[in-house]
């Protein structure tokens, strides 16, 4: 199973872009990169996922390097409500159509007023 | 559309007791996974159910067992509770065709 490496913590000023990096150097060609966040021990919330192309939705953008060994989650205009632990997950290849997430310890993002 | 619902939200049990946690998946989802999250750690995969069968299992002892019902809801059972079983237990549902999983708010289990 691929593993991910994230910085343990980051600060970001309110209104500025938050760029959260993730290293997944052992990722396989058919494995997706998923991002979730967890606010104060609530259940993790899905943010975005991608395979090789950059992705954007109403919450964030995901930039995946060409070699797929790393990615960056971008929150374009961070607010205080974005303060959370952000998890970068590489979803293992499936053999049976089912899969599991392997969580690391994530990045604790603190948005400062 | 209700998301993933878990019950109860909080629970206190005594060492050696047994506990059952419940999960109703998001509408349209047929696969349920359970995770354990200790304080300050990321969630750890316990097992996954699809078509009422356990399909994958993480590194958890046999004291942890589960069940999936025909309506796709699921239960997590833990026998012979240990103090170390105190954690947030999360249920996630998804549709078998790979897509994102949606998590419930969790059950906070405290073993005393």
pLDDT, tens only, B14-72: 999 999 999 999 998 999 999 999 998 999 999 999 989 998 899 999 999 999 999 99
Write the CA distances from B92 to A56, A74, A104, A112, integer angstroms: 23, 25, 17, 31
- Tell me what the pLDDT averaged over chain A comes to: 91
- The three-class DSSP label of residue B85 is helix
Write the CA distances from A61 to A14, A34, A79, B107, integer angstroms: 17, 12, 15, 31
- From A32, A87, A94, residue closest to B42, measured CB to CB: A87
- The three-class DSSP label of residue B83 is helix
Nearest to B109 by CA among B2, B49, B22, B3: B22
Q: How confident is the model at residue A31 (pLDDT cuts 50, 70, 90)?
A: confident
Interface contact A44-B90, CB threshold 8 A = yes
- From A34, A94, A105, residue closest to B100, measured CB to CB: A34
Provide the pLDDT for residue B8: 97
Sign of CA dihedral A109, B41, A22, B57: negative
Provide the pLDDT for residue B61: 97
**Strand B74-78 relative to strand B64-68: parallel, antiparallel, unpaired?**
antiparallel
pLDDT at B88 over 80: yes
Distance CA A45, CA A84 (A): 10
Q: How confident is the model at residue A62 (pLDDT cuts 50, 70, 90)?
A: very high
Distance from CA of A70 to the nearest CA of B (A): 20
Interface contact A100-B33, CB threshold 8 A = yes
Residue among B103, B104, B108 with most chain A CBs within 10 A, to mutate: B103
pLDDT, tens only, A1-25: 658 999 999 999 999 999 999 999 9
Nearest to A6 by CA among A20, A22, A18, A19: A22
Provide the pLDDT for residue A53: 86
Provide the pLDDT for residue A96: 57
Provide the pLDDT for residue A1: 60
Interface contact A98-B31, CB threshold 8 A = yes
pLDDT at A51 over 80: yes
């Amino acid at each position: 199973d691929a593993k991910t490496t994230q910085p343990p913590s980051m600060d970001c000023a309110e209104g500025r872009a938050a760029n959260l990096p993730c290293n997944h150097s052992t990722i396989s060609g058919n494995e997706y990169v998923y991002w979730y966040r967890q606010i104060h021990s609530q259940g993790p919330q899905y943010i975005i996922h991608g395979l090789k192309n950059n992705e954007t939705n109403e919450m964030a953008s995901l930039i995946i390097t060409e070699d797929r060994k790393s990615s960056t989650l971008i929150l374009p205009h961070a607010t205080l409500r974005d303060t959370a632990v952000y998890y970068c997950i590489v979803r293992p290849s499936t053999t049976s159509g089912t899969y599991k997430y392997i969580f690391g310890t994530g990045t604790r993002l603190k948005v400062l007023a | 559309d209700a998301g993933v619902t878990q019950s109860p939200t909080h629970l206190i049990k005594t060492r050696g007791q047994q506990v059952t946690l419940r999960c109703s998946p998001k509408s349209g989802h047929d696969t349920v996974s359970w995770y354990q999250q200790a304080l300050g750690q990321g969630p750890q995969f316990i097992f996954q159910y699809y078509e009422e069968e356990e399909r994958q299992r993480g590194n958890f002892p046999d004291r942890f067992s589960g069940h999936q019902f025909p309506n796709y809801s699921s239960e997590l059972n833990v026998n012979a509770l240990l103090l170390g079983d105190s954690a947030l237990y999360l249920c996630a549902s998804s549709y078998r065709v790979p897509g994102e999983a949606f998590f419930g708010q969790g059950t906070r289990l405290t073993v005393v």
